[in-house]
A and B are shown apart, each in its own frame.
Chain A
């Protein structure tokens, strides 16, 4: 299911003295089954942009095409439910949305809103809780007794249980420890790879972009400043830094090596790529490393 933005603009509180343009002139396609990362510094419109993907916000101008449905400024707020089922959205700090008595009921809440029977929804809860790396013994616990990281997983499970085709994650790893971060992104990557889920990830962590994304969208002051593969976008270190964006550590390191006379066709983004690019340039290899 492709999602296409055509000349989209969005204004918060249009027509009041507090009106502020959040998005202008957005033309963008989120391809089916792609892993898209959206980066940009705080206030650049990332969250506003993704809220158009499941019609939580309607454009002030232009159209958003979500699969078959076309959302225009005039679109009625009714009958948007099918879109919300197909496009699952994990908000920032999703643990704040938990409310049920037990983890199982909370995870089943989404699917049941979309007409899944209670038995099936609870069955899905059992599957999903394991998928996000929690033991089934948590199902009968109150979500409010869990740790922050566990609550986050339950909230993500609650969205996955709706069996969406597109999964949007708005900084899903903010405030998690490195292990939790790796586990959650690893899970998302697995879903993307095995179940061909279309993923849209908002993140500030360039390493994650380099490791997982097929496509990067750089937002700046409500506009799409750049799109492309991570490899292409991360080449221009100076440009990214002038937009207050980071570059993967590896690319930075490579950039410094470049100043010391090393040559790179393209800046490597991951440690493996860096090692591969460096190996032939090191005097060590000339001595005939035979252990390859």
Chain B
């Protein structure tokens, strides 16, 4: 369970850690957008260097980022392999029926791989350096304008914070229940596919039941303390936009400019 690094915050006090979470969140999405501007190795190199610079600046161990890629590695390899086998053009190295390995295919496969890795690195950077609660504050703040359209912004933000808050709890509980069922002779992750599926039932049902119980307890506890979201509720941590955040935006602007120039 601990392999799942996405969504885990590593405390620190780097420049990246101190950035306004709203800026970080928007820039992470923006990064996914601009990565599609890259179409040659120079631009990928630029993005790679930029990402590595950000990663190093966060002073979080590089291992965490690499581990963030791991859960998605099969999806990435699958996509890359499709790219390689079905793209024609340039020098043809090998072909068999509809499958080919061509120069363009290899290059495109490489680009797709880079794209995945960079996107994962950048989003991992966001979650590794931003406490989950700050992220949900950021989402609330960003969505605020949509209140005009009757979007229940506070409720959405509350739901996100509660969900994030219970991720580690759920992971611990999964581990515990898996152990309890292992002790009763369940073999997780071995045997045929249908055996594997059947082994999941004794894990999922207790997890569901416990989650519902916990949700009910939490609701009772919140009501008992008179929780009311929305209008009039102030925040302990107020988000403030500072010069460093503008600087980060400027850095992204420069990168965008360079990417367009490199096209």
Contact = CB atoms under 8 A, between A and B. Distances in A.
Contacts of B186: 113
Interface string A22-56: 00000000000000000000000000000100101
Contacts of B179: 51, 56, 91
B206 A98 contact: yes
Contacts of A113: 184-186
B235 to A, nearest CB: 30
B183 A99 contact: no
B2 interface: yes
A99 B61 contact: no
B156 interface: no
A84 interface: yes
A84 B183 contact: yes
A132 B131 CA distance: 46
Interface residues of A, number: 27
A76 to B, nearest CB: 11
B185 A162 contact: yes
A51 B173 CA distance: 16
B183 A114 contact: no
Contact of A96 (B2, B176, B187): B176
B184 A110 contact: yes
A78 interface: yes
B180 A99 contact: no
Interface string B182-200: 1111110010000000000
Interface in A66-108: 78, 81, 84-85, 88-89, 91, 94, 96-99
A96 B179 CA distance: 12
Nearest to A89: B183
Contacts of B238: none
Contact of B2 (A18, A78, A81): A18
B176 A109 contact: no
Nearest to B185: A113
A91 B172 CA distance: 14
Nearest to B173: A96
B224 interface: no
Which of A98, A113, A114, A162 has the largest number of chain B CB atoms within 10 A? A113
How many B residues are at the interface, by size bracket? 20 to 34
Nearest to B183: A89
Contacts of A78: 190
A85 B182 CA distance: 10
Interface string B61-89: 10110000000000000000000000000
Contacts of A114: 185
Interface in B194-234: 201-202, 205-206, 209-210
Nearest to B188: A77
Contacts of A91: 176, 179-180, 183
Contacts of B201: 99
B196 to A, nearest CB: 14
A89 B179 CA distance: 10
B185 A56 contact: no
Contacts of A17: 10, 61, 64
B108 interface: no
Contact of B184 (A16, A18, A109): A109
B181 interface: yes
B133 interface: no
A54 B10 CA distance: 33
Nearest to B187: A81
B185 A81 contact: yes
16 contacts: A13-B2, A17-B10, A17-B61, A17-B64, A56-B183, A81-B185, A84-B183, A88-B183, A96-B173, A97-B181, A99-B202, A110-B184, A113-B184, A144-B209, A159-B183, A159-B184
Given A91-B180, A99-B205, A159-B183, 15 more contacts: A13-B2, A56-B179, A56-B182, A56-B183, A88-B183, A91-B176, A91-B183, A96-B177, A96-B180, A97-B184, A97-B206, A98-B206, A113-B184, A159-B184, A162-B185
